Amino acid sequence: MSGPSRAQRLIGDISPKLAQLTDDVLFGDVWARPGLSPRDRSLITVASLVTQSRPEQLRGHLQRALDNGITADELAEALTHLAFYAGWPAAVAALGILRAVVEESSDT
């Protein structure tokens, strides 16, 4: 990847250290560990973000999940399942974000 990372673009100006930790520890170490596949990590992360109602972070992780091999249909099914555990509003909001991410992905 050339240029600044997503973390650097989002928060690097206000918190260079948190951006560095995000790049080096979270995505450089935790996401690279062999115990789970990137696909599994994406599904876990999406589920966690939905249950916590974190729409800003969810958008990027839904795209990452698609990039890691989870289909839009699988994500929609996971979000439907989560409606019973995270709550209907959280699932409906997440489905709206998924729709936008899929539409943006198909435009490129």
Whichever domain contains 66, its CATH number is 1.20.1290.10
Q: In terms of domains, do 26 and 65 share one?
A: no
Task: Give the chain's domain count.
Answer: 2
Q: Are 80 and 91 in contact (CB under 8 A)?
A: yes
- Residue 57: CB partners within 8 Å, gap ≥ 6? 49
Q: In terms of domains, do 45 and 84 share one?
A: yes
**Angstrom distance (rounded) from CA 43 to CA 29:** 18
Predicted TM-score (pTM) of the model is 0.89
Residue 3 belongs to domain spanning? 1-33
Q: Are 56 and 94 in contact (CB under 8 A)?
A: no
Q: In terms of domains, do 22 and 44 share one?
A: no
Q: In terms of domains, do 27 and 42 share one?
A: no
CA atoms in the 13 A half-sphere facing the CB of 75: 30
pLDDT per residue rounded down to tens, the chain (108 residues):
578 998 999 999 999 999 999 999 999 999 999 999 999 999 999 999 999 999 999 999 999 999 999 999 999 999 999 999 999 999 999 999 999 999 999 886
Q: In terms of domains, do 40 and 24 share one?
A: no
